[in-house]
């Protein structure tokens, strides 16, 4: 390994602080490139190895096993840049840009289209992969294209149609493709006050209805229409139920919290327990929105 590669790719790095749950084991190898040149160096090294590749954004929608992750974990958290294009209303952003920060910047410009994202703790890359959304809107509504890098080094430009978007999912999930950049179509021409008001209202609603005081991954389960997952769980009196230091949140039953010393196994076991109870009482199979990474 060259000195440059060694400075970018580190062995045996703990991942707990790389996720919003604050749990998880070590990456066998870890890299967080800051630009295209560093990304190319990391990919060049990876392609010479016979190891798996795991992609990591802000870690806000992941539960990483206590056993860690074999192979290379490639994080985009430092791969950041963005540009608001006048006058066409397009926002071009790298995968590591926090989606909530871009939402506030768009609001301050009077550009409509991202107000739903003001409280979402993920990155552009993660939002593209899972078709992130809130307040009956989602990224698929505004995505023009995404630049993705395959494990073999191929770059592609994919549209929302190419990604086969549906509720909180795309065909990128489970694939070997890595989001590098996204182009979003926003609507300029509104006043700052108009869009800031909507954004502030959305943020206030999230703060008052969702627990932000302890580590979590946001919503754990996808909503099984026509009911909300949180409602189904709440009716079973599971708010406050704990396994180890993992707890179903009192404020919102579709959140599982790390109350301080939870392990990934605690959280995983609580997820399975909630699924079993809901399946038994409601005959509904709750599908996790959180992505499980590693062996459980």
Q: What is the pLDDT of residue 115?
A: 97
Confidence check: pLDDT of 173 > 80? yes
Please identify, among 49, 75, 101, the residue that sits at the C-terminal boundary of a domain: 75
- Are the C-beta atoms of residues 282 and 224 closer than 8 Å to each other? no
Task: Give the CATH number for residue 144.
Answer: 3.30.465.10
Provide the 3-class DSSP secondary structure of residue 211: coil
Helix H or strand E encompassing 75 = strand 69-75
Q: How confident is the model at residue 152 (pLDDT cuts 50, 70, 90)?
A: confident
Helix H or strand E encompassing 193 = helix 192-209
Residues 122 and 217 placed together within one structural domain of the fold:
no
- For 70, the token pair is 């074999």
Q: Which of 168, 222, 234, 265 is catalytic?
A: 168
Q: Which residue has the higher pLDDT, 151 or 267?
A: 267
Residues 129 and 179 placed together within one structural domain of the fold:
yes
Q: Determine the average pLDDT of the residues in 149-171.
A: 91
Distance CA(211)–CA(266), nearest Å, equals: 19
- For 248, the token pair is 């179903």
Q: Determine the average pLDDT of the residues in 75-96.
A: 95
Q: Which of 38, 97, 115, 289 is catalytic?
A: 289
219 catalytic? Reply is yes
Half-sphere exposure of 153 (CA within 13 A, CB side): 9
168 catalytic? Reply is yes
- Are the C-beta atoms of residues 106 and 186 closer than 8 Å to each other? yes
Q: Is 269 exposed, middle or buried (0-12, 13-18, 19+ CB in 10 A)?
A: middle
**Residue-wise pLDDT tens digits, 60-84:** 889 999 999 999 999 988 999 999 9
Give the list of residues 6+ apart from residue 169 with CB closer than 8 angstroms, or none: 130, 131
Confidence check: pLDDT of 22 > 80? yes
Question: How many structural domains are present in the chain?
Answer: 3
289 catalytic? Reply is yes
Please identify, among 164, 186, 208, the residue that sits at the C-terminal boundary of a domain: 208
Beta bridge partners of 256: 248
Residues 153 and 192 placed together within one structural domain of the fold:
yes
Q: Determine the average pLDDT of the residues in 111-120.
A: 95
Q: What is the pLDDT of residue 242?
A: 98
From the CB of residue 106, how many other CB atoms can be counted at a distance below 10 Å?
Answer: 26
Q: What is the pLDDT of residue 176?
A: 81
Q: How confident is the model at residue 151 (pLDDT cuts 50, 70, 90)?
A: confident
- Are the C-beta atoms of residues 115 and 194 closer than 8 Å to each other? no
Half-sphere exposure of 6 (CA within 13 A, CB side): 3
Q: Determine the average pLDDT of the residues in 151-176.
A: 90
Distance CA(76)–CA(123), nearest Å, equals: 9
3-class SS shares of the chain: helix, strand, coil, % to 5: 30, 25, 45
Residues 102 and 203 placed together within one structural domain of the fold:
yes
Distance CA(257)–CA(58), nearest Å, equals: 17
Confidence check: pLDDT of 1 > 80? no
Q: Which of 20, 32, 145, 219 is catalytic?
A: 219
**Residue-wise pLDDT tens digits, 214-246:** 999 999 999 998 999 999 999 999 999 999 999
Q: What is the pLDDT of residue 9?
A: 96
Task: Give the CATH number for residue 277.
Answer: 3.90.78.10
Phi, psi of 294 (to 5 degrees): 100, -170
Confidence check: pLDDT of 4 > 80? no
Residue-number span of the structural domain to which 23 is assigned: 3-75
Confidence check: pLDDT of 165 > 80? yes
- For 264, the token pair is 């990934």
Residues 121 and 135 placed together within one structural domain of the fold:
yes
Q: Determine the average pLDDT of the residues in 32-42.
A: 92
- For 254, the token pair is 């579709």
Residues 132 and 202 placed together within one structural domain of the fold:
yes
Residues 118 and 156 placed together within one structural domain of the fold:
yes
């Amino acid at each position: 390994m060259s000195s440059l590669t060694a400075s970018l790719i580190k062995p045996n790095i703990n991942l707990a602080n790389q996720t919003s749950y604050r749990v998880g084991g070590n990456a066998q190898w870890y890299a967080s490139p800051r630009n295209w040149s560093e990304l190319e160096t990391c990919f060049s090294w990876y392609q010479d190895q016979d190891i798996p590749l795991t992609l990591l954004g802000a870690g806000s929608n992941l539960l990483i096993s206590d056993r860690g992750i074999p192979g290379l974990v490639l994080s985009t958290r430092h791969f950041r840049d963005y540009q608001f294009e006048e006058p066409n209303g397009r926002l071009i952003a790298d995968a590591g840009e926090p989606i909530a920060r871009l939402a506030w910047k768009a609001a301050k410009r009077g550009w409509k289209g991202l107000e739903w994202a003001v409280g979402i703790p993920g990155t552009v890359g993660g939002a593209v992969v899972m078709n992130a959304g809130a307040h009956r809107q989602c990224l698929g509504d505004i995505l023009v294209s995404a630049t993705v890098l395959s494990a073999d080094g191929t770059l592609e430009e994919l549209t929302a149609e190419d990604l086969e978007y549906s509720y909180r999912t795309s065909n990128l999930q489970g694939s070997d493709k890595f989001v590098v950049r996204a182009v979003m179509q926003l609507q300029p021409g509104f006043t700052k006050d108009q869009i800031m008001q909507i954004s502030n209202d959305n943020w206030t609603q999230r703060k008052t209805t969702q627990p932000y005081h302890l580590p979590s991954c946001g919503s754990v389960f996808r909503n099984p229409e026509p009911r909300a997952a949180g409602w189904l769980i709440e009716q079973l009196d599971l708010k406050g139920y704990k396994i180890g230091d993992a707890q179903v949140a009192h404020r919102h039953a579709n959140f599982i919290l790390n109350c301080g010393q939870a392990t990934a196994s605690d959280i995983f076991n609580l997820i399975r327990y909630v699924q079993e109870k809901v399946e038994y009482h409601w005959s509904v199979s709750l599908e996790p929105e959180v992505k499980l990474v590693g062996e459980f």
